[in-house]
Amino acid sequence: MRRLLLAAVPLAILFGAAACGDGADEDPGVEPTATVFATPTTGSNEQPQVPDTPVAQPTPIPDHLPIIQVAFAGKLYAPLRSEFLALPKEKITVGGKTYEGVSLATLGEKAGARAGAIATINGTRMDNLRLGAVRFTLTEIGASTVFVMDDTGRITLASSTIPTDQWLKDITGIGLN
């Protein structure tokens, strides 16, 4: 057994040396190079850019489910499609185009909100790339902001006081506080 072990040791040393290399193919006059990774300069706030991809289009909302939720002081007003369509409509004109829908003031009133309440409206940005939210007081935008429902039950915000680049579509909820 010892003879086998003594014969195996030189073979193990030979294989180990072959695996490590003998350094004969390296040029002794050349310094090894290190891989350098680019790092932001000190004090830079650059963030990695993630490509935008469109948000998936929601499915139509069934008639037996609420199409929007308006919350105020622990109370929830969540009308069905037929109830939303029965609410009084207001017309606003922005950029020569007229929009007709239920005003934020009407929805706030149905939820029992006070006039100075802060409204936070959640939905998808109009470019369909990110979720968004807008926040104003009911006094500022209540009468000039309408919610327009399409044939599938999706709701889009239109306003003569909120800048058009902040408008939202596929509104999911309104929080009032």
Return the CATH number at 129.
Answer: 3.90.420.10
* Highest mean pLDDT, choosing among 10-14, 53-57, 127-131: 127-131
- When divided into structural domains, the chain yields a total of 1
Neighbours of 130 (CB within 10 A): 11
Q: For residue 40, is it within any domain?
A: no
Give the pLDDT score at 45: 75
Give the pLDDT score at 34: 52
* Highest mean pLDDT, choosing among 42-46, 50-54, 110-114: 110-114
Q: For residue 52, is it within any domain?
A: no
Q: For residue 17, is it within any domain?
A: no
Domain range spanning residue 96?
69-176
- At 65 the three-state DSSP class reads coil
Q: Is the dihedral of CA 160, 162, 165, 166 positive or negative?
A: negative
- Residue-level length of the chain: 177
- 52 or 24, which is more confident? 52
Inter-CA distances, 115 with 47, 96, 118, 141, 161, Å: 40, 29, 9, 10, 16
Q: For residue 2, is it within any domain?
A: no
Q: For residue 26, is it within any domain?
A: no
Give the pLDDT score at 177: 93
Q: For residue 57, is it within any domain?
A: no
Q: For residue 106, is it within any domain?
A: yes
Give the pLDDT score at 46: 80
What pLDDT, in 10s, does the model give residues 30-44?
555 555 445 555 556
Q: For residue 12, is it within any domain?
A: no
Give the pLDDT score at 71: 96
Residue 12 predicted with pLDDT over 80:
no
- 54 or 116, which is more confident? 116
